[in-house]
Structure 1
C-alpha cells in the first residue's frame, strides 16, 4: 500500500510539474473581447448578408477592436481610426500580407495580382511597377485626352436621351469601361455585340466584372472551415473557376495582340498603354530574385480592368444618388461650377483646385459609401502584441471603413450627408494619412491607382449636374432613390436610379 501511495504521489507531483511548466512556457494569452462563437462555424452565421453592418453593431457592445471566429480561424475587426492607424501604420509591416483565400487563388492568378498577392518579392516588384511606371502624374497626364474624349461621348450619349427616362448607371458603366480600357489596353476589345475583333460584348464584360466583385467579397465557407473546402458547399469556387476561364481567354487575346504589335515594331516600339509598359518591363526584367512572367502580367492587367472600372463607377453612382436626394447640396455645387466655368464650357480636370465644394462632396460620398466597406483582409506575419492584446501569427485583420466613417467620436451627425464638414477646421485627406477616412486604405497595401480614379470621378460628377437638370419619372420622387447596399468587394446601390435628363447648357457643347 505504501509503495502504491508513493507511486501515486510521485505521478501527481510530476503532473503538477508538467502543468506548471506549461503555464510558465505558455501563459494565458490576453485577447480582445468579442461575441461568443458557435461550435464549428464560429460567428459566421451572425454576419448576415451585409457583414460590415453586423460588425458595426457588434462594435457598439465590444469596442473598437473585437475578436471573432470565422469557422476555425481567428479574425480581428478594427472599427475606429485609432485602431486602423495601429494596424495600417504602427504595425504595417507585420500585417502587410493577405490570407490565402480561394478568391486569390482562383480569380487572382494564383495570388499574383496586387489585391491578393502575399507580402514578399513579387508583391513588392508589382507595387513598384504600379507606382513608378503606371500611375505617375506624368503618365496619367498623358492619358488626359482619352478621358476627355470618353467624357464627351458619355455626355453626348445622355443628351441623346434627353426628355426620356434613363438608368444613369448604364451610361456610367459604359463610360468607365471605355475610359479604363483605352488607358490599359489602347483598344476596347469588346463592343455592343461580339465581332471578329471583340471577344465579348460590353454587357458580358460588365457581368464578368460584377461577378469578380461579388466573389472577391463573399464569405466562402471553405476558406474558414478548411475540412469543408472539398465540398464547395456554396458553389463559390465553381463560379470562380468559370469566371477565371473567361478572363483567361480575354487576357490571352489581349497579350497576343500586343505582342504581335510589339514584334512588328521591333526596335522602334514605343509603349502606348499600360499593357505595353508591363510587357516591356517583363522583357527587360533581369531580377534574379523574382522575374515578371507573362502570367504575372496578366494578373496585373486583371487588377487594372475590373478594379479600375468598378471602383470609379460605384463612387460616381453613390455621389449621384446622394445629390439627387439633397437638392440643397446640388444647388451649392452648381453655384461653384458656374463660378468656375461661367456656364459656357464643361468642367475640366485642371478646374479641380478651384472647386473645394466638389472635393467635399466626393469625400462625403466616400465617407458614407467607402469603396470597400471592409478593406481587403490583412494577415499577421508573426506573433505580436497590439494595444495590449496578444495577436497570433496568421490572424486575419479586417478594417471596417464603413464603421469608421460613422464613428460618433470623429463625425458630427455621422449618418447625415453633409459635405460642409470637410470645409470646416482641420483639412481631412482621403489618401491614407487621415485614418478617419480610408476609402483607398493606407500603408503598404493602399490602392496604388486611386489618383486615376479620382480624376475620373471629380470631372464626371461635376459635369453630370453641370450639363443636365434631372427630373424624376412620373409617380416617383427623391425619396424613392435607393440607398440600400448590394454587398461585395465593393458595394453599390441595390437598385440603380432612373431619371430624366434635361440639358441646361448651350446646345453646341453636347455635339
Structure 2
C-alpha cells in the first residue's frame, strides 16, 4: 500500500520573504489601478453565497498563499479541501473567483446540466502563446473562432473515417514499439541490455505516434530507417518541449490573475514558455510551410484532389464555400501544436503508473497476461480490434487514470454568466477547476481510494476508459470535452497491451519493491520506472514484416 501525499504544502525553494513582499506590493499597485473590476466582482459575489473558502486579504485575496505554496499549488489546494471537509471551495486570486470541485455530483452539474454556461476558457500568457493567439480549439475562449476550429477537429480530423484511413500509421508504430524494446543491445538511454526505462519508451511511443498522425513521419530529419532505431536529438527535444509546455499551461502564474504584470515574468514561466514555443516552431514550421507550398502545386491548380496522408494534409487542404483555403497559417500552426499537446501526457503516464503498481502486486500482472493469452493468444500480436474484449487490461488503465492522473486539476472552465452550482453563487468570469485528484481519490466515493484495485471496474460487459458519472476524469466531457476519446483509447490500450503481451517485466536485481512516490510539483512518478524486459513470444513476431 502506498500513501499519496495530498495535503503537504511546500514553499517554492526560490521564494524569500523579501521577494514575497515585493511581489505583493506590485500586486497591490497594479490591482488598485484596476479596482473597478475588483469591486464589480465583489458586488456580484455579495448577491448570493459563495462556496466556502479560506480567509482572504483585501485586493489580493489568497494570492499570497498561492505564491508561498509554489510550485506545488495543487497540494495546497487539496490540503484546504481536506482541512475544510468540503467538496467545493472558492479561492479569490485578485479579482478572480477560482472554484474547485471534488464531488462527482457537482462535477456533473458543471459539465452536464450547466455546460453551456461554463463553455469558455481563461486567457493567460501561456495559453495565448501556445495557441498562437487563440487560433485553435482547445485553449480558445468561447466564440466563433473556437466553434470553427472545434468543427474542423471533430468533423475532419477525428472523424471515424479518418481514424480508419490512418490505421496503417498507428499499426506501424505499435509494431515498432515491440521491436524497439526487444533490441537487446541498444546503446541509447532506453534499454541497455534488457533494462528498459519505461518512461522513455512510453513518452517516445506517443511522441512517435502523434508525429506520424500529424506529419506523416516519425523523425524531423533523416535518421536510419532501422525498425529499432530510437529517437534522435530533435525527437528528444520535441517530446521534452511538449511536456514542458503542458506543465506550464494553467499553472497558476501570477500574471494569469493580474495581466498588468505580464512582461515582468515574476514566476519565471514566461521565459520557459517562450523557449518551448521557439523549439516547437523550429521543428513544426518547415513541415507546415512545405505542405502549404505543395497546396499551390500545378496538380492542385488543375483540379486534382489530393488524398490526405495525415492530419496536416487535412488542415492544409480544407476549403471554404468560395474554394479558398479555410485555415490561415496561424490556425494550422495552432491546431497542429494543440493536437500534439493533447496526445502525449495521459497515455504515457497511465501506462507507466499501471506497470509500477502491477510490479508490486504480481497477481494483477498475472491476471492481465492471462487475459491477453486467452483473448489474443501467443501466435500473433494484439491489435486494436482486440481492445473491446480486454476488459481486465482496460480496468487496470481505468484504475491508473483514477489514482494517477497526470494533472491534478482539469483544464479550467470560465463562467460566461452569473449562475449557481450546488446552491452556491458562481459569479460571471469565475474559473471552475474540476479536481481529477479529488474525484478519483475521494473516500466518499471509493473504498480504499489509494489502493490499486482493477477489479472495482469489472462491473460491465464492456469496460470503458471514461466514467459517465465523473467519479474520475480521463477524457473530459461536455462542450469542451476531448473529441479524441476513440484515438486516445486506442493509443493508450495498445501501448499497454503490446508491452504486457510482448514482454515479461521484472524488477531490477536487488529491488524489493517499486517506489510509488510522486514528484512534489506534479503527479508523475518521482523517478522514471526502470524494469527488466524479457520477450515472451515467438522470435518471428519481433521481426519487421513490411507486408
- Identify the TM-score tier after normalising by the shorter chain: 0.7 to 0.9
Residue number in structure 2 paired with 1:367: 402
Q: Which residues in structure 2 correspond to 1:21-40 (within 5 Å)? A: 28-38=47-57, 40=60
Distance 1:442 1:306 in 2: 18
Please report how far the alpha carbon of residue 85 of structure 1 lies from its aligned counterpart in structure 2 after TM superposition: 0.7
Distance 1:248 1:353 in 2: 38
- Say whether 1:279 aligns with 2:332: no
Residue number among 127, 132, 141 corresponding to 2:164 in the alignment: 141
Residue number in structure 2 paired with 1:179: 209
RMSD: 2.7
- Seen in structure 2, the aligned counterparts of structure 1 residues 508 and 69 have a Cα distance that, compared at 3 Å, is same
Residue number in structure 2 paired with 1:493: 525
Distance 1:100 1:466 in 2: 44
Residue number in structure 1 paired with 2:40: none
Residue number in structure 1 paired with 2:273: 240
Of the structure 1 ranges 94-103 and 370-379, higher mean CA displacement relative to structure 2 is found in 370-379
2:45 and 2:426 in contact (8 A); partners too: no
Please report how far the alpha carbon of residue 285 of structure 1 lies from its aligned counterpart in structure 2 after TM superposition: 5.4
1:66 and 1:76 in contact (8 A); partners too: yes
Please report how far the alpha carbon of residue 228 of structure 1 lies from its aligned counterpart in structure 2 after TM superposition: 3.1
Q: Which residues in structure 2 correspond to 1:76-225 (within 5 Å)? A: 76-161=99-184, 163-191=193-221, 201-225=234-258
Distance 2:86 2:106 in 1: 10
Residue number among 60, 66, 73 corresponding to 1:51 in the alignment: 73
- Say whether 1:445 aligns with 2:480: yes
5+ long unaligned stretches in structure 2? 1-42, 186-192, 225-230
Distance 2:248 2:528 in 1: 21
Residue number in structure 2 paired with 1:259: 292
- Seen in structure 2, the aligned counterparts of structure 1 residues 216 and 90 have a Cα distance that, compared at 3 Å, is same
Distance 2:440 2:483 in 1: 21
1:371 and 1:440 in contact (8 A); partners too: no
- Seen in structure 2, the aligned counterparts of structure 1 residues 28 and 308 have a Cα distance that, compared at 3 Å, is closer
Please report how far the alpha carbon of residue 229 of structure 1 lies from its aligned counterpart in structure 2 after TM superposition: 2.9
Please report how far the alpha carbon of residue 323 of structure 1 lies from its aligned counterpart in structure 2 after TM superposition: 2.0
Please report how far the alpha carbon of residue 32 of structure 1 lies from its aligned counterpart in structure 2 after TM superposition: 1.0
Please report how far the alpha carbon of residue 405 of structure 1 lies from its aligned counterpart in structure 2 after TM superposition: 0.6
Residue number in structure 2 paired with 1:393: 428
1:75 and 1:396 in contact (8 A); partners too: yes
Please report how far the alpha carbon of residue 124 of structure 1 lies from its aligned counterpart in structure 2 after TM superposition: 1.2
SS in 1 for 2:296: helix
2:409 and 2:435 in contact (8 A); partners too: yes
1:99 and 1:379 in contact (8 A); partners too: yes
1:191 and 1:200 in contact (8 A); partners too: no
1:373 and 1:400 in contact (8 A); partners too: yes
Residue number in structure 2 paired with 1:7: none
Of the structure 1 ranges 266-275 and 185-194, higher mean CA displacement relative to structure 2 is found in 185-194
SS in 2 for 1:381: coil
Please report how far the alpha carbon of residue 333 of structure 1 lies from its aligned counterpart in structure 2 after TM superposition: 0.6
Q: Which has the larger radius of gyration?
A: 1
Residue number in structure 2 paired with 1:69: 92
5+ long unaligned stretches in structure 1? 1-23
TM-score by length of 1: 0.87
- Say whether 1:484 aligns with 2:503: no
Distance 1:277 1:75 in 2: 38
Please report how far the alpha carbon of residue 217 of structure 1 lies from its aligned counterpart in structure 2 after TM superposition: 4.2
Please report how far the alpha carbon of residue 372 of structure 1 lies from its aligned counterpart in structure 2 after TM superposition: 3.0
Distance 1:208 1:192 in 2: 20
SS in 2 for 1:407: coil
Deviations 1:32-77 (A, max 9, x none): 1111134532541464433333323322324111111224421111
Distance 1:182 1:209 in 2: 16
Please report how far the alpha carbon of residue 117 of structure 1 lies from its aligned counterpart in structure 2 after TM superposition: 0.2
SS in 2 for 1:435: coil
Deviations 1:382-409 (A, max 9, x none): 1122222222111111100111011122
SS in 1 for 2:433: strand
Deviations 1:268-302 (A, max 9, x none): 32221111111122x335599x9632211110011
Please report how far the alpha carbon of residue 445 of structure 1 lies from its aligned counterpart in structure 2 after TM superposition: 0.7
- Seen in structure 2, the aligned counterparts of structure 1 residues 189 and 152 have a Cα distance that, compared at 3 Å, is closer
Deviations 1:208-264 (A, max 9, x none): 112211211422111123443342112211222232233223332121121233333
Distance 2:375 2:367 in 1: 13
SS in 1 for 2:379: coil
1:52 and 1:403 in contact (8 A); partners too: no
Distance 2:321 2:466 in 1: 30
- Seen in structure 2, the aligned counterparts of structure 1 residues 510 and 143 have a Cα distance that, compared at 3 Å, is same
- Seen in structure 2, the aligned counterparts of structure 1 residues 473 and 250 have a Cα distance that, compared at 3 Å, is same
